[in-house]
Amino acid sequence: MALMKSWVESANSPETDFPLNNLPYGVYDLGDERLFCGAAIGDYIVNLTRLEEEQILDLGGPQLFGWGTFSPVIEAGDVAWDRLRLWLQKTLAQGSPVEETVKRYLDPRAEARMHMPFDVAEYTDFYAGKHHATNVGTMFRGAENALPPNWLSIPIGYNGRASSVVVSGTDVVRPNGQLKGPDDALPHFGPCARWDIELEMGAIVGKPSDSMVSVAEADEMIFGYVLLNDWSARDIQAWEYQPLGPFQAKATATSISPWIVTRAALEPFRTSTPERERPLLPYLKEPGPMHYDIALEVALAPEGKPETVITRTNYKELYYSAAQQLAHHTTSGCPMTVGDLLGSGTISGEAKDSRGSLLELSWGGKEPLTLDSGETRSFLEDGDTVTLRGAAIGDGYKIGFGDCVGKVLPAQPIPDWAKE
């Protein structure tokens, strides 16, 4: 597929994340309290809330864009999703007869402050990166037990904390927690010293289910995708995670990109998951390409210093697609809800410089990274800003997500009643 040309000139640049082919959805304000729903196009945002108010946009149902969240749009179902996308593509295309009218509803993206684009119902985080699972397993359990016996059969996942999901631009406070070094007899309470990132994608469930669905059905349930940074406290995790998995190590914050890229926009970039190393059970088999080719990178900037790109990888490195994960999620009869967010698991490539976490990049702190500024990093320092970027690369255009940014603030002081 080629670039679809828009009368919004900046949308025709091969550099923009937001050509007419993309049209991702986000929620923003323009300096006051009022929240708008919009679609990004080049350097602008089409203000859907005001277009609906003025009855220029009408999808033929109840009010969808006046709620400060895309959740009502997602709940409206796939007929509404398709209508909205089609309306936007016609309206913003070169030669559109309504250019002069709609031009008045473009807000400059640079002036927008972004908010959570949807209400997260529940948040599940998967562990679908084979290189990541192997790397972490090797560090935590030794090379022989790196990949758990179930890993090649099950898209392993655990429930995360929906209340901790924040939009890009939200500062992230280093957590406190129980810590116990390998030589300590007892744990102590203090600030996390191994504060880390996880480069992931998030899939947003757009249709509910109350019984088991196939991989093909699961794929159709997904409304869209975001970039996702699953901030992780490695030292808290190491002490707490046996036997029931990560809990407080992953509950501080999970950042998502401000823009939801729809499944429709990613359609031309479908690809298959990697070759199976063990046959999958039939319920997990993919009827066609269910995964996506999306280039990803992470940049780290110390306070007041320029950024260094610390990893470059691709979504397609994951062993299980979001559709496979969602199908597995429903096997027990677990009810899925509109707004459920599925984290993909950390995306690491095979090469060292394609690993999706500092834990892996610095090999547990044993091989610190050297940044362009000359500083070194094993884990995050206070003041560090982390930026995730991602885009599916088309022919003369790209489908981007916008930056997913978070700055690390120092831990809260330990209250007196918690001091030893």
Residues with catalytic annotation?
132
When computed from its CA atoms, the radius of gyration of the chain, rounded to whole angstroms, is 22
Residues of the shown chain interacting with its own copies in the complex, contacts defined by CB under 8 A: 121-122, 127, 137, 140-141, 148-150, 153-154, 156-164, 173, 175-178, 180, 186-189, 211-212, 214, 233, 236, 239-249, 251-253, 278-279, 281-283, 328-329, 331-337, 412, 415, 417-420
Closest distance to its own copies from the beta carbon of 129 (Å):
13
Report phi then psi at 133, rounded to 5: -60, -40
CA distance 60 to 76: 11
Closest distance to its own copies from the beta carbon of 43 (Å):
34
Please report the DSSP string for 323-382 in residue order.
Answer: HHHHHHHTTT-PPB-TT-EEE------SSGGG-SSHHHHTTTTTS-EE-TTS-EESS--T
Closest distance to its own copies from the beta carbon of 393 (Å):
32
Indicate the residue among 279 and 396 with the shorter CB distance to its own copies: 279
73: CB partners within 8 A, 6+ apart: 25, 37, 64, 65, 80, 81, 84
Instruction: State both tokens at 351.
Output: 């090469």
Indicate the residue among 87 and 283 with the shorter CB distance to its own copies: 283
Indicate the residue among 148 and 289 with the shorter CB distance to its own copies: 148
Indicate the residue among 345 and 402 with the shorter CB distance to its own copies: 345
Closest distance to its own copies from the beta carbon of 197 (Å):
16
CA distance 290 to 272: 6
3-state class of 65 per DSSP? Answer: coil
Indicate the residue among 240 and 317 with the shorter CB distance to its own copies: 240
Q: Are 40 and 106 in contact (CB under 8 A)?
A: no
The strand pair at 165-167 and 369-370 is best described as unpaired
Buried b / exposed e over 182-212, threshold 16 CB at 10 Å, is: eeeeeeeebbbbbbbbbbbbbbbbbbebeeb
Q: How many residues does the structure list for the chain?
A: 420
H/E element, 133: helix 130-141
Nearest CA to 246 out of 174, 159, 166 is that of 159
Closest distance to its own copies from the beta carbon of 378 (Å):
20
Closest distance to its own copies from the beta carbon of 48 (Å):
28
Indicate the residue among 109 and 207 with the shorter CB distance to its own copies: 207
Closest distance to its own copies from the beta carbon of 79 (Å):
24
Indicate the residue among 7 and 231 with the shorter CB distance to its own copies: 231
Residue where the block lists tokens 């690809």 = 271
Angle among Cα 132, 135, 139 to the nearest 5 degrees reads 135
